[in-house]
Chain A
Amino acid sequence: GAGVSQSPSNKVTEKGKDVELRCDPISGHTALYWYRQRLGQGLEFLIYFQGNSAPDKSGLPSDRFSAERTGESVSTLTIQRTQQEDSAVYLCASSSYSHQPQHFGDGTRLSIL
């Protein structure tokens, strides 16, 4: 069946521009996570959605970062006024419930010039 889908797969943009990253989770998965993975480093938690509960935004690094999720479907991660340190792979994962195994997308590789 279909897995977690992320788009775009690659994004190159100039410093100061806004970017929007999209995640389509597996249908029926109530939990959705966004992570950031810088080159050669581990996963950095950004935000967690669980059903209709208020999202856990504790990992967002600054107010330039925001994310939305409509119900239990698609989510978008928006980065405003991008900086070079935002360059990374942004990963989305979903699971049927928060404590079930996560299924990861292929990520969006973001490069800020």
Chain B
Amino acid sequence: AQSVSQHNHHVILSEAASLELGCNYSYGGTVNLFWYVQYPGQHLQLLLKYFSGDPLVKGIKGFEAEFIKSKFSFNLRKPSVQWSDTAEYFCAPSGGGYQKVTFGTGTKLQVIP
């Protein structure tokens, strides 16, 4: 069965620290990969996506993610976090065709000023 794993449930960082959130999935074959973010009191929104091509994708607000096919990973990174990055982050892979998207359990990021 298709599955997704986010290793960090709660991450606390100081401002300007670097961030890397892990995401591993179990899909074989074609995979589409998403990261979504939910800021406090707001609804989920797309952070970035990978469909094909360059495995290093850039999203909004300085975030990027790297697709490593051999490791079935799509980790989210940001070189220097800000207090405003405090949010919950969800990795969400999807297989090809009409397969549904599956959300990970989420990682709560708290950035301390």
Instruction: Report if A91-B43 is in contact (Cβ < 8 Å); known contacts: A43-B90, A43-B106.
Output: yes
Which interface class (under 10, 10 to 19, 20 to 34, 35 or more) fits B? 20 to 34
The answer to whether B100 has its CB under 8 Å from any CB of chain A is: yes
- The residue that A42 contacts in the complex, of B46, B51, B99, B105, with Cβ under 8 A, is B105
- What are the residues of chain B within 8 A of A93 when measuring CB–CB? 44
- Nearest Cβ on chain A to B108's Cβ, whole angstroms: 9
A to B contact number (C-beta, < 8 Å): 59
- The residue that B94 contacts in the complex, of A35, A43, A99, A106, with Cβ under 8 A, is A99
Q: CB distance B103 to A107 under 8 Å?
A: no
Q: CB distance A42 to B100 under 8 Å?
A: no
Q: CB distance B98 to A102 under 8 Å?
A: no
Q: CB distance B34 to A45 under 8 Å?
A: no
Q: In the assembly, what is the distance between CA of A58 and CA of B73, in Å?
A: 25
- Nearest Cβ on chain A to B28's Cβ, whole angstroms: 15
Q: CB distance B101 to A102 under 8 Å?
A: yes
Query: A75-113: which have CB < 8 Å to B?
Result: 91, 93, 95, 97-99, 101-102, 104-107
Q: Which residues of B contact A (CB under 8 A)?
A: 32, 34, 36, 43-46, 49, 51, 88, 90, 92, 94-106
Q: CB distance A91 to B44 under 8 Å?
A: yes
Q: CB distance B98 to A98 under 8 Å?
A: yes
- Nearest Cβ on chain A to B113's Cβ, whole angstroms: 23
Q: CB distance A35 to B43 under 8 Å?
A: no
- What are the residues of chain B within 8 A of A50 when measuring CB–CB? 98, 100
17 CB < 8 A contacts A-B:
A33-B100, A33-B101, A42-B90, A43-B44, A43-B90, A50-B100, A51-B98, A53-B98, A95-B101, A98-B97, A98-B100, A98-B101, A99-B94, A99-B95, A101-B49, A102-B92, A107-B43
